[in-house]
A and B are shown apart, each in its own frame.
Chain A
Amino acid sequence: MFAYVVKRLLSLIPVLVGISMITFLILRLTPGDPAEAYLRLSQIPPTEAAVAAVREELGLDRPLIVQYGDWLVKALTLDFGKSYATHRPVWDEMMFLLPATVQLAGVSLVFTLVLSIPMGIFSALYKDGWFDNFCRFIAFTSAAMPNFWLGFMLMYFFALKLDLLPTLGRGSWAHFILPALTLSFSYIATYVRLLRTSMLENLEQPFVLYARARGLQESLVIGRHVLKNALLPLVTALGMSIGHLLSGSVIVESVFSWPGIGRFCVSAILNRDYPVVQCFVLMMAVVFVIANLFVDIAYAWLDPRIRLKGESS
């Protein structure tokens, strides 16, 4: 297992180099000049002289290959340069903003799991009952409901009308509830449907019949045999969700004024803030690869067939 993990981590190197090159090129092929974007942000007319001065200051007047080489060498020491927009070191900005996003994503993940697993189990066990229909309704609603709208509705009722929760920002743990619920809502619906389907498939399997025939308690049959197997697709989805929760929280961060990385990076994309975008893409690549690695490890733990196959090979 250790060798497998090391191998997977080493495979990150060519992935990151490839991604950095692609990101670097795509950014520069996209219309829009970061120097002009900076001037626009500063409310300075983009005269030729002003643009030239900013381009020189940002090092954009050098050949592309030199710019990339310079960036790559520095990136190896976690020096991702300075943000064009804020003039602060990108790594410092990321490390300052990342904890807020990680906290939000973490709480959302907890919400997702705590709500979706029992709901998924109940939906499967009470197939076509009122609870199953209720969960189906939630799933369809969440698919049709944009995040920002849900965020506003939750804010309107729970913060403004009922005055139960804070409206915006960060501070106490109460500030987590609305943004985390908004962020997790669509995942909850997906996971409930996923777990329900998987549970139903597993309930039909011969090993369930055999377990019951052995006289095992129903709670053991459901919990140890059916649920454990039914969780496999959920684990796969979870691996992808971690990356999405970290990188896709921009709308929730904007609605709830959450000072996280999503908001920062979307404005960086719009402002052609190359160093920020490059760093963000790399970070997300690492997150996705590591999350998938954890998924694979969890798979081996949950499914003995994979574990034993791995050990025998």
Chain B
Amino acid sequence: MSETTKALNKCKRVAAVLIAGMLLVSLLAGCGSQSGQTPATEKVLNFSWAKDIGSLNPHMYNPNQMFAQALVYESLVQYSDAGKIVPWLAESWTISPDGKEYIFKLRQDVKFSDGSAFNAAAVKKNFDAVLANGKRHDWLAFIRQIQETQVIDDHTFKLVLKDAYYPVLQELALIRPLRFLAPAAFPDNGNTGKGIKQPVGTGPWVLSEYKQGEVAVFVRNEHYWGPKPKVDKLVIKIIPDSESRVVAFEKQELNLLYGNGSISLDAFKQLQAAGQYETKLSEPLATRVLAINSNKGATKELKVRQALQHAVNKDAFVKGVLFGTEHKADTLLATNFPYCNLGLTPYEYSEDKARALLDEAGWKVVPGRDFREKDGQTLELEFCYESTNAIQKSVGEVLQGDLKKVGIKVKLTGEEQGSIDQRQKDGNFNIIYGDTWGAPYDPHSLVGSMREPAHADYQAQLGLPMKAELDKLASAVLVSTDETKRQELYRQIFTTLHEQAVYLPLSYLANLAVYPKNLSGVAFMGSQYEIPFGTIDIQ
């Protein structure tokens, strides 16, 4: 036994050394983590994003992240509050009476970050590169409409369209694909669709360091024509998990949380309650909406669709699920969107009205049964949602609870995104979750996409008796050159959709911002995809 005891004592000593070693490692690591701080005089804004920023090709899409493209590249015009289009790289423009010719006068004081001049030739070179890869950008109606690009003089650029298309300026304001790369940064073969030499734009920031999937550092563009950014450096850390982002923020490794979905809504509420940070919410930027299929099962009936509008308690949803961080939505698009302040009468929350409508539709309460029936069939609706999305799942649960109160059974079908996409295309749903395109795409992108069979919007509207007429109105509004007529066409479209109850708007999405009190100048832009880092200062 004494040998055993000796052996055990030896093992104990080994274990003690191991544990002490581990503790030492932790302590040394703690010391190590303090190193590498930036000089106190340098103002560094630390921000995070869930995905790598990509190669910053202004003419291409994923993996390029829009907010990062907007740091380096600028557009001819900018989308401002309430959808107003304001001059940017173009200081003015004229539109021919037939709506087919646009002449842009370019600013003369603009340079790319490599010091080269921004002029009409550079604009044409960029337009032509995008058009050469036209198939890729075919989704944008404006690209399909471009017939010709011309350099009138060094600072005048002309765009000729095949047909009139009113949202030209709105689509020019988009972050991609029509922002401007310096001619020297074009690849030798000119095909930007395959890549660029380096990201050189006219924007306020220049990429200075990049570690794929980890970090990107931007510094001020010293050639910038507008007010230069107030901070010296902008560091974008790639943090995929929203809760980790909150911990990094609380540890002061980040000094700005911004965007929609960047952190969970309960984390936002918690940070707000902590009292040591500033918190802000933007104006409505898009809508959380349920599309109700007018071409499938019980939702073919108008009265059933209308009953759904009355049966869902949106106030409770906003308060309980969204922690009061969004506003209840009464209409498909918020009234701050262009052409959308129509004075439509909201469907009020009323279980009694919902029940009365279902009775009128012939869906009767059967004694002893939980759900209504008609001709021996139970009133059951299928709600399809993306299973990994917590908010969509909660929407399903709210829907199931609210509709049960009026005798409607809801079958929740949670699937991954690919399967949900397929259902949208096939119209294989009664109710499906979606977000509208938001600013600056809406209302024209939403209305345009209603004509596309691959869209849930199209499928949901397919059972409407006036679907063909709606499609005609949608086509007419996009080519309309008369502002009054355009407003009238939008009125007809949105009023019809509202009356036909094919959409159940839940709440208006907004960007949120959380930052420490030593940060100033945090604001929101008209477009939900741009972040105004330039105005932010650190005290």
Task: Report 19 cross-chain contacts, Cβ distance below 8 Å, ordered by A residue.
Answer: A31-B415, A36-B418, A36-B425, A37-B418, A45-B445, A46-B454, A53-B135, A118-B11, A118-B15, A118-B18, A122-B15, A164-B29, A165-B33, A167-B244, A169-B237, A174-B29, A219-B11, A255-B244, A270-B416
Query: How many angstroms from the CA of A118 to the CA of B54 in the assembled complex?
Result: 46
Is residue A218 within 8 Å, beta carbon to beta carbon, of the partner chain? yes
Is residue A281 within 8 Å, beta carbon to beta carbon, of the partner chain? no
- Contacting residues of chain A (154-207) with chain B, CB-CB under 8 angstroms: 155-156, 158-160, 162-174, 177
Partner of B422, one of A32, A41, A217, A263: A32
How many Å from the CB of A256 to the closest CB on chain B? 7
For B227-249 the 0/1 string (1 means CB < 8 A from A) is 00000000001111101100110
**Which of B4, B62, B454 has the most chain A CB atoms closer than 10 A to its own CB?**
B62
How many Å from the CB of A218 to the closest CB on chain B? 4
How many Å from the CB of A20 to the closest CB on chain B? 21
Query: How many angstroms from the CA of A32 to the CA of B416 in the assembled complex?
Result: 9
Is residue A242 within 8 Å, beta carbon to beta carbon, of the partner chain? no
- Contacting residues of chain B (391-424) with chain A, CB-CB under 8 angstroms: 415-419, 421-422
How many Å from the CB of B102 to the closest CB on chain A? 24
How many Å from the CB of A116 to the closest CB on chain B? 11
For B198-219 the 0/1 string (1 means CB < 8 A from A) is 0000000000000011110000
Is residue B250 within 8 Å, beta carbon to beta carbon, of the partner chain? yes
For A38-54 the 0/1 string (1 means CB < 8 A from B) is 11111111111111010
Instruction: Report A-chain residues with C-beta under 8 Å of the C-beta of B7.
Output: 217-219, 221-222
User: How many of chain B's residues have a CB under 8 angstroms from any CB in A?
Assistant: 63
Query: How many angstroms from the CA of A156 to the CA of B449 in the assembled complex?
Result: 45
- Whether the Cβ atoms of A156 and B138 lie closer than 8 Å is no
- Whether the Cβ atoms of B421 and A257 lie closer than 8 Å is no
Given contacts A44-B61, A174-B33, A222-B11, 11 further A-B contacts (CB under 8 A): A31-B422, A45-B437, A45-B454, A45-B455, A50-B138, A163-B30, A164-B30, A168-B244, A173-B32, A217-B3, A270-B417
- Whether the Cβ atoms of B10 and A47 lie closer than 8 Å is no
Query: How many angstroms from the CA of A40 to the CA of B437 in the assembled complex?
Result: 12
- Contacting residues of chain B (131-182) with chain A, CB-CB under 8 angstroms: 135-136, 138-139
Is residue B14 within 8 Å, beta carbon to beta carbon, of the partner chain? yes
- If A46-B454, A170-B214, A254-B240 touch, whether A177 touches B29 (CB-CB below 8 Å) is yes
How many Å from the CB of B180 to the closest CB on chain A? 20
Q: Across the two chains, which residue of chain A brings its CB closest to B63?
A: A86
- Whether the Cβ atoms of A257 and B244 lie closer than 8 Å is yes
Partner of B251, one of A86, A159, A259, A270: A159
- Whether the Cβ atoms of B11 and A45 lie closer than 8 Å is no
Partner of A33, one of B35, B61, B138, B418: B418
Is residue B482 within 8 Å, beta carbon to beta carbon, of the partner chain? no
Query: How many angstroms from the CA of A98 to the CA of B453 in the assembled complex?
Result: 41
**Which of A41, A156, A257 has the most chain B CB atoms closer than 10 A to its own CB?**
A257
Partner of B62, one of A85, A166, A170, A263: A85
How many Å from the CB of A76 to the closest CB on chain B? 25
Q: Across the two chains, which residue of chain A brings its CB closest to B248?
A: A167
Instruction: Report A-chain residues with C-beta under 8 Å of the C-beta of B455.
Output: 45-46
Instruction: Report B-chain residues with C-beta under 8 Å of the C-beta of A165.
Output: 26, 29-30, 33
Instruction: Report B-chain residues with C-beta under 8 Å of the C-beta of A164.
Output: 26-27, 29-30, 33
- If A36-B421, A47-B139, A156-B247 touch, whether A168 touches B63 (CB-CB below 8 Å) is no
- Whether the Cβ atoms of B253 and A255 lie closer than 8 Å is no
Give the A-binding residues of B (Cβ under 8 A): 3-8, 10-11, 14-15, 18, 25-30, 32-33, 35-36, 54, 60-63, 66, 135-136, 138-139, 212-215, 237-241, 243-244, 247-248, 250-251, 253, 388, 415-419, 421-422, 425, 437, 445, 449, 452-455
Instruction: Report A-chain residues with C-beta under 8 Å of the C-beta of B62.
Output: 38, 41-42, 85-86
Give the B-binding residues of A (Cβ under 8 A): 30-33, 36-51, 53, 57, 85-87, 96-97, 114-115, 118, 121-122, 125, 152, 155-156, 158-160, 162-174, 177, 217-219, 221-222, 254-257, 259, 263-264, 270, 272
How many Å from the CB of B431 to the closest CB on chain A? 19
Partner of A32, one of B27, B66, B417: B417
Instruction: Report B-chain residues with C-beta under 8 Å of the C-beta of A96.
Output: 212
- Whether the Cβ atoms of B213 and A97 lie closer than 8 Å is yes
- Whether the Cβ atoms of A47 and B454 lie closer than 8 Å is yes
Instruction: Report A-chain residues with C-beta under 8 Å of the C-beta of B5.
Output: 218
- Whether the Cβ atoms of A40 and B247 lie closer than 8 Å is no
- Whether the Cβ atoms of A87 and B11 lie closer than 8 Å is no
- Whether the Cβ atoms of B15 and A46 lie closer than 8 Å is no
How many Å from the CB of B276 to the closest CB on chain A? 14
How many Å from the CB of A158 to the closest CB on chain B? 8
Instruction: Report B-chain residues with C-beta under 8 Å of the C-beta of A115.
Output: 18
How many Å from the CB of B438 to the closest CB on chain A? 10
Instruction: Report B-chain residues with C-beta under 8 Å of the C-beta of A85.
Output: 62-63
- Whether the Cβ atoms of A218 and B3 lie closer than 8 Å is yes
Query: How many angstroms from the CA of A236 to the CA of B204 in the assembled complex?
Result: 57
- Whether the Cβ atoms of A152 and B243 lie closer than 8 Å is yes
- Whether the Cβ atoms of A172 and B32 lie closer than 8 Å is yes
How many Å from the CB of B291 to the closest CB on chain A? 14
- Whether the Cβ atoms of B454 and A257 lie closer than 8 Å is no
Query: How many angstroms from the CA of A240 to the CA of B457 in the assembled complex?
Result: 48
- Whether the Cβ atoms of B241 and A257 lie closer than 8 Å is yes
Query: How many angstroms from the CA of A221 to the CA of B212 in the assembled complex?
Result: 52
- Whether the Cβ atoms of A48 and B4 lie closer than 8 Å is no
How many Å from the CB of B466 to the closest CB on chain A? 23
Q: Across the two chains, which residue of chain B brings its CB closest to A158?
A: B26
Nearest 10 A/B pairs, CB to CB: A32-B418, A42-B61, A174-B29, A164-B30, A259-B213, A218-B7, A218-B3, A219-B7, A41-B62, A42-B62
Partner of A118, one of B14, B28, B417, B418: B14
Instruction: Report A-chain residues with C-beta under 8 Å of the C-beta of B3.
Output: 217-219
Query: How many angstroms from the CA of A33 to the CA of B240 in the assembled complex?
Result: 24
- Whether the Cβ atoms of A219 and B419 lie closer than 8 Å is no
Query: How many angstroms from the CA of A23 to the CA of B383 in the assembled complex?
Result: 31
- Whether the Cβ atoms of A44 and B422 lie closer than 8 Å is no
Query: How many angstroms from the CA of A177 to the CA of B213 in the assembled complex?
Result: 20
- Whether the Cβ atoms of A87 and B6 lie closer than 8 Å is no
- If A53-B135, A177-B26 touch, whether A45 touches B419 (CB-CB below 8 Å) is no
Instruction: Report B-chain residues with C-beta under 8 Å of the C-beta of A49.
Output: 138-139
Instruction: Report B-chain residues with C-beta under 8 Å of the C-beta of A156.
Output: 247
- If A32-B421, A96-B212, A160-B247 touch, whether A121 touches B11 (CB-CB below 8 Å) is yes
Instruction: Report B-chain residues with C-beta under 8 Å of the C-beta of A45.
Output: 139, 437, 445, 449, 452, 454-455
Instruction: Report B-chain residues with C-beta under 8 Å of the C-beta of A218.
Output: 3-8
- Whether the Cβ atoms of B418 and A155 lie closer than 8 Å is no
- If A40-B417, A41-B62 touch, whether A259 touches B14 (CB-CB below 8 Å) is no
Instruction: Report B-chain residues with C-beta under 8 Å of the C-beta of A38.
Output: 62
Instruction: Report B-chain residues with C-beta under 8 Å of the C-beta of A122.
Output: 11, 15
Query: How many angstroms from the CA of A10 to the CA of B132 in the assembled complex?
Result: 49
Query: How many angstroms from the CA of A48 to the CA of B54 in the assembled complex?
Result: 26
Query: How many angstroms from the CA of A285 to the CA of B61 in the assembled complex?
Result: 33
Query: How many angstroms from the CA of A263 to the CA of B10 in the assembled complex?
Result: 43
Instruction: Report A-chain residues with C-beta under 8 Å of the C-beta of B248.
Output: 167-168
